[in-house]
Structures are given as C-alpha cells and as structure tokens.
C-alpha cells in the first residue's frame, strides 16, 4: 500500500549487538500533556506497548522475532512515526510539532529504511500525482502525454529500486521494499521470483521473506487462462457465499480493506465499472481483509459498494487471501462466466476497457 510504504512506520535508538529486546527511549519537545504513546506492530496491526510521557520522555519495549516495521502512535493526534527495527536499543530526539526533523540513532535497519524513503518518496509522490491526473484528464491527447510521463517516472522508480536492491541484497529492508514495489509496478511483480532470487542472508528471513515465499509458491494460482479455485466465505450477516454461485456472470473478485488507502482510492473506479456493466452479466465480489466489522461496513457504505461483500475479519490471515497468495492489496481477478481468469490486478480505466471488449 502506498501510504504504508511511503510513510507509516518509525523508530529510534543506540545500537547494542547484545540486545535481546527492542528498547525505545524517546524525548519529544512540545508533546501535549496526557498524550498516550503506543508501539504498534505493523504486521499484526496491534499495540505491543504503551507509555505516558513525563516532560516529553518515555520508554517503550518489545521483543522482535525479526526486523520489521513498527509504528509509534499518539493519542489524540493523527501523526504516526514509522520505523524499521529489530531487537535494538534505540533513542530519538526532536520536536513533536516537527517530526520530519526528529533524529534517530541506533538501528542500522531504520537508517537504511529512512535513507531510501528520502530518495524514493519525492519520486513516488510525483508518479502518483501524474497517474491521478491521467485518470481524470478528459482530453485524449493530454491523457496520452501524461501516461508517457508516468511511464518514464515508473521506469525511473523501478531502476531506483534495482540499484538499492543490488547494493543492499542482504537486508530485510530490501525485501520489504520489494513487496511494496511489486504491489505498484507490474514490471517488478511479474518478475518477483527473479528479484527475490538476487537476495540472500537476512533478506530471506522474517515476515516479508515469508510473504514472498508464499507468493512465489502460489504464483500459478489465479494464472490467466486457469479456473480460479472455489472458495466460500461469510457475508456481514453470516451467510456463506460461494464463488461458484457467480457462474454465468463476469465477476471481479476484489481484495481490499477499509484501512487500505490505495484500495479506497480505487473503489470509485470499481463502482463506475459496476454501474456501467451490472445489467450486462457483470458483478463484483468483494473480499475484505478487515479486522473491525464496523469499520468494514462503514467503508462499504461510504464508498457505495453495493455488490456482495465477504470477510472472516482476520486481516492478512483472511482464508481466501491466504489461499490465493495475496500479499498486497488492492488485488483482483476478473473471471469470465465459466470462472476462468481473463485478467488480474487491473485498475482504473483498464477495467472498463477489458469489460467493454468482453461485454458487447
């Protein structure tokens, strides 16, 4: 997800090679009184420790199985500070009102993460700005011009990741960004196994490596031209919904979540496709990777998702997502009336084009 990758997690410290747990010492000026500081496991999406600052100082602790992404959150504030850390002794110092200037010490993984973020964030912001403009542009000539700019920006970002990967092929930070870039750029996703084969050592350990291992293993599942395997999952009322019940229609099996920024940004495109083709044997089956039922249903209502929705409320452990090796969202499979995959991970106007070609 764009928002997770380019700005959602952080940490601080002094490196201690003998550390057996993550120990965070923070010192923030101008932090509001009675603010509760929380440490959130970014992969599990759960709080693992919390503290109330005393004159801006606080301590957080956790045990980390493998270096991974964590988030420092603050009650009553939208600010969240991302960090990529292992079992380090970390310190950070700065002004709560100027988080971009906070100084971190003690974590080699976070230093690498932060350095690459500074390089890639401006490029990524420019790319998304161009693509958004291209989607909304009405002039065919201007749209084509913007698309060419976007292609050049995309190629530059892919090359930026390639250089980073070669220089840091033993770091789990590289594995993390491989997952993120694969979610955005088809050129990387389609060659995920090749990029992953170039990594070694610690880069092939931990949660991100496990995700890629599963993804590579399940690469044949949902392959274009194959029949998508059957599955069942409950809707919000507890009724079991089967994929087989949609046979006879074109169906977009759409993996999303209320907490996924890019998914919410893509939803208007799916709504447009649904409203355009719903009377021509097309529908959507939404599979949500939510945990909170209320937030899931609220997003369904706000985004106008009037098609069938299912979820087991197990986050990334959603049974269907696991079955199909879904490692990032949004993700989708477009099936023909026989259940055969005719396209996957199509977004924006591309979905309209494919449906227009098949539903005449």
- pLDDT at residue 327 tops 80: no
Looking only at Cα atoms, what is the longest distance across the chain?
67
Residue 116, pLDDT score:
97
Residue 9, pLDDT score:
29
Residue 66 CA to residue 80 CA, distance in Å, equals 22
| Range with the largest mean pLDDT of 12-26, 122-136, 150-164 | 150-164
Residue 189, pLDDT score:
86
Mean pLDDT computed over 183-210: 91
- pLDDT at residue 3 tops 90: no
pTM across the whole model: 0.65
Distances (CA, A) of 320 to 179, 253, 275, 285: 19, 11, 26, 12
Residue 180 CA to residue 192 CA, distance in Å, equals 11
Residue 157 CA to residue 2 CA, distance in Å, equals 13
Contact residues for 173 (Cβ-Cβ < 8 A; gap 6+): 67, 84, 109, 112, 113, 116
Q: How confident is the model at residue 219 (pLDDT cuts 50, 70, 90)?
A: low
- Count of alpha carbons within 13 angstroms of residue 336, beta-carbon side: 13
In a 3-state reduction of DSSP, which class is residue 252?
strand
With CA atoms as reference, report the closest residue to 6 among 121, 91, 102, 109: 121
Residue 114 CA to residue 139 CA, distance in Å, equals 39
Sign of CA dihedral 216, 252, 321, 63: positive
| Range with the largest mean pLDDT of 135-144, 217-226, 252-261, 346-355 | 252-261
- pLDDT at residue 11 tops 80: no
Residue 213, pLDDT score:
87
- pLDDT at residue 10 tops 70: no
- pLDDT at residue 224 tops 70: yes
- pLDDT at residue 340 tops 60: yes
The helix/strand count (H/E) of the chain reads as 11, 15
Residue 187 CA to residue 192 CA, distance in Å, equals 9
Average pLDDT of the chain? 90
Q: What angle do CA 294, 265, 250 make, to 5 degrees?
A: 85
With CA atoms as reference, report the closest residue to 82 among 51, 57, 118: 118
Instruction: Compute how many other C-beta atoms are within 10 angstroms of the C-beta atom of residue 341.
Output: 18
**186 vs 164: which has the higher pLDDT:** 164
Residue 78, pLDDT score:
84
Q: Which two tokens stand for residue 178?
A: 């491989």
- pLDDT at residue 67 tops 70: yes
Pairing mode, strands 232-234 and 240-242: antiparallel
| Surface-to-core class of residue 52, CB atoms within 10 Å of its CB (0-12 exposed, 13-18 middle, 19+ buried) | exposed
């Amino acid at each position: 997800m764009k928002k997770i990758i380019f700005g959602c997690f952080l940490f601080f410290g002094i490196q201690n090679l003998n550390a057996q747990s993550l120990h965070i010492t923070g010192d923030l000026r101008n932090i509001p009184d009675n603010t509760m500081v929380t440490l959130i496991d970014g992969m599990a999406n759960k709080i693992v420790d919390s503290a109330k600052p005393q004159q801006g100082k606080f301590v957080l602790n956790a045990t980390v199985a493998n270096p991974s992404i964590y988030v420092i959150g603050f009650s009553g504030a939208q600010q969240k500070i991302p960090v990529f850390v292992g079992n380090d002794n970390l310190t950070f110092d700065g002004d709560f009102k100027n988080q971009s200037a906070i100084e971190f010490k003690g974590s080699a993984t976070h230093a690498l993460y932060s350095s690459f973020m500074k390089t890639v964030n401006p490029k990524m912001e420019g790319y998304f700005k161009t693509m958004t403009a291209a989607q909304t542009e009405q002039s065919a000539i201007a749209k084509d011009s913007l698309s060419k700019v976007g292609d050049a920006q995309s190629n530059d970002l892919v090359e930026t990741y390639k250089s980073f990967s070669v220089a840091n092929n033993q770091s789990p930070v590289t594995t993390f960004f491989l997952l993120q870039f694969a979610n955005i750029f088809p050129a990387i996703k389609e060659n995920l196994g090749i990029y992953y084969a170039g990594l070694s050592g610690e880069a092939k350990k931990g949660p991100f490596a496990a995700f890629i291992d599963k993804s590579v293993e399940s690469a044949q599942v949902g392959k274009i031209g194959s029949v998508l395997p059957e599955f069942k999952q409950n809707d919000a009322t507890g009724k079991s919904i089967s994929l087989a019940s949609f046979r006879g229609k074109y169906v977009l099996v759409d993996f999303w979540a209320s907490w996924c920024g890019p998914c919410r940004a893509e939803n208007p495109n799916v709504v447009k496709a649904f409203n355009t083709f719903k009377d021509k044997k097309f529908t959507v089956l939404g599979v949500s990777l939510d945990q909170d039922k209320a937030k899931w249903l609220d997003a369904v209502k706000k985004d106008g998702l009037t098609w069938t929705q299912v979820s087991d409320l197990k986050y990334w452990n959603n049974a269907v997502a696991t079955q199909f090796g879904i490692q990032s969202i949004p993700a989708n499979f477009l099936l023909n009336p026989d259940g055969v995959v005719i396209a996957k991970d199509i977004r924006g106007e591309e979905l309209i084009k494919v449906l227009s070609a098949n539903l005449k």
